[in-house]
Amino acid sequence: MASRDLHTFLACCTIVLILESVLKTSAVTPLTDFMISKSVTNHGDLTMFSRIFDKFDYKRCLKITAIGGSVTEGHWNHTRIPVNLRWPGLLAALLNARFPCNDPAGHVAQNQGRGATPTSAWIETLTGQQEVQFQGVDLVLLETAVNQMAEREQAQIDAEILMSMVTKQSRRSMTKSQLEQATTSDGQFIRGFTGTAAMWVVASTRRFVTIWTGVPYERISDAMYAQLPVAQHHGVPIISAIDALGPFPTSEVQAWFNQTWYEGDPIHPNQRGHILIADLVFHYLKTAYEHTRLFQWHALPKDYIPREPMFLSRDILNMFLDQTPIKINLANMNDILRRNVTRCSGWWAYADVPEKIGFVAINVGSSCVVPLKSDEVSRLSVGMAHVLMYKSYENMGTFRMAIMKGRMGVNGMCEGADDPNAQVLGSMIVDSLWKSKASLAEVSILHFELPTASDKSACLLVHLDVVESKPARLKNKVKLLGISFF
């Protein structure tokens, strides 16, 4: 046996043995110190965690929120891992054992995992209310790398927006005097820290696409390398289970990884995987805490200072952090009907796949007009619509969205949906078929002209149409989840 093979063999067998002994005993780490250190892909700025570490000292309980995709939601091999055995629940149990706290409920890790939901879809969901969602939360764990299919530049923009939504104060929630205090004499607004820490958690490397073999700085199976520079700039840690276990350069290691991590499922980790993820996040918090208590050379700084955005302009980030978009929820038929939609045929809100409701049309020619009343239009200041829609690799069709100018009628309705000469304020065509072997919610952006502020009776008519693809297809499904107007 060549020495390299022997090395691989020993490494695999040792890990398998450790994993097996662990599963038979309890949820204690099956990993070596070396693997734990490999998992810390970015160490982060510990000032972001000083409030959390103080809570450990004072026996105060943490409120943690995990947002992410199906892995966090516990999907595995056509079934669900029980809630308390999913990694956020296991993490809370580990924290309660090591850092007991005074509230009988203990440390709580709320699991908000939602299948097929990448970074951009989370941004859409949170915009306009992130400070409410994260009110009183000490730590937000972001597990969105595996569903991040966007190209690198967009992935970095999305990553910067999402982590800013966690860590940076929104002007929406600030009082007048807080706003004055945060503004310098030359009128510049300095955004403060919310007090909520962020951490990225990388949970999987898909077998659908090329498995990670160790090619430097590229991993198409998750967006960790795209997120890394953004996390470095903002001092947000990245804890990666895949980096603890991998890379997977040989077929032996790949087979081992298949058997110990996936076991019958091409995307989601099994129960063992959830134990590993929880252990790694726990170890990070524990060793970073111990470090801040042991380090004696000088007093460590306490306050995290938010960084200026580096991957998108400050104006666009301000839009996401401060604005309240007009949101149209398209995942509920009652909400849609309450909007007084007109000229609708072929669209209906239902779950075409279990548990995933959307506004679905399956035929070319399906159409619907959603009005936005003048009082809503007067609250828009950018002229941008974000459409959250499913993209998939089969059965999908082409979607056209056009925003026309309408006029408020005496009955309180926006009129003009039948007017062939209505002014087009903006339109786009989006193909919801893509090559990626995944079905995910993605955001498409439409820029449109806003009616002038003096035009008080102007309203918007949003035309949703399924159009013929080129070349024509047999199946033409389009599925929308919601639209946000800025």
Ligand X SMILES: *[C@@H]1O[C@H](CO)[C@@H](O)[C@H](O)[C@H]1NC(C)=O
Binding site for ligand X (CB under 6 A): 77-78, 207, 251, 254-255, 258, 263-264, 266, 339-340, 371, 373, 411-413
* Count of Cβ atoms closer than 10 Å to residue 88 Cβ: 29
Q: Rg of the chain's alpha carbons, rounded to an integer?
A: 25
- The CA distance from 45 to 359, in Å, is 42
Nearer to ligand X, 110 or 342 (CB): 342
Q: How far is the CB of 25 from ligand X (least distance, A)?
A: 21
Which residue, 238 or 480, has its beta carbon nearer to ligand X? 480
Which segments of 295-381 does DSSP mark as H helices, in order? 314-322, 333-338, 374-377
Query: In angstroms, what is the minimal distance from the CB of 8 to ligand X?
Result: 12
Tokens at 158, concatenated: 């999305």
Q: Are 457 and 378 in contact (CB under 8 A)?
A: no
Nearer to ligand X, 233 or 339 (CB): 339
Q: Which of 463, 467, 468 has its CA nearest to residue 385?
A: 463
Q: At 475, phi and psi to the nearest 5? A: -110, 140
Minimum distance of ligand X from residue 256's CB (angstroms):
8
- CA 5/CA 2 separation, integer angstroms: 5
Of the CA atoms within 13 Å of residue 103, those in its CB half-sphere come to: 10
Least Å from the CB of residue 373 to ligand X: 5
The structure tokens listed for 463 are 């035309």
Q: Which is nearer to ligand X, 276 or 288 (CB)?
A: 276
Distances (CA, A) of 134 to 110, 195, 212, 234, 478: 11, 10, 34, 19, 32
Give the shortest CB-430-to-ligand X separation in angstroms: 25
* Interatomic CA distance for residues 116 and 132, integer angstroms: 23
Place of tokens 């159009």: 467
268 burial type by CB count under 10 A (0-12 exposed, 13-18 middle, 19+ buried) = buried
Nearer to ligand X, 8 or 340 (CB): 340
Residue 199 C-beta: closest distance to ligand X, Å? 29
Nearer to ligand X, 299 or 410 (CB): 410
| Strand pairing report for 139-143 and 63-68 | parallel
The residue (of 77 and 129) whose beta carbon lies closer to ligand X is 77
Separation of alpha carbons 385 and 448, rounded Å: 8
**Nearest-5° Cα angle at 275, 264 to 77:** 20
A 10 A CB-CB count for 208 gives: 12
Residue 231: CB minimum distance to ligand X, A: 29
Shortest reach from residue 470's CB to ligand X, in Å: 33
* CB closer to ligand X out of 201 and 326: 326
Question: Taking the complex as a whole, how short is the minimal distance between the CB of residue 459 and ligand X, in angstroms?
Answer: 9
The residue (of 63 and 463) whose beta carbon lies closer to ligand X is 463
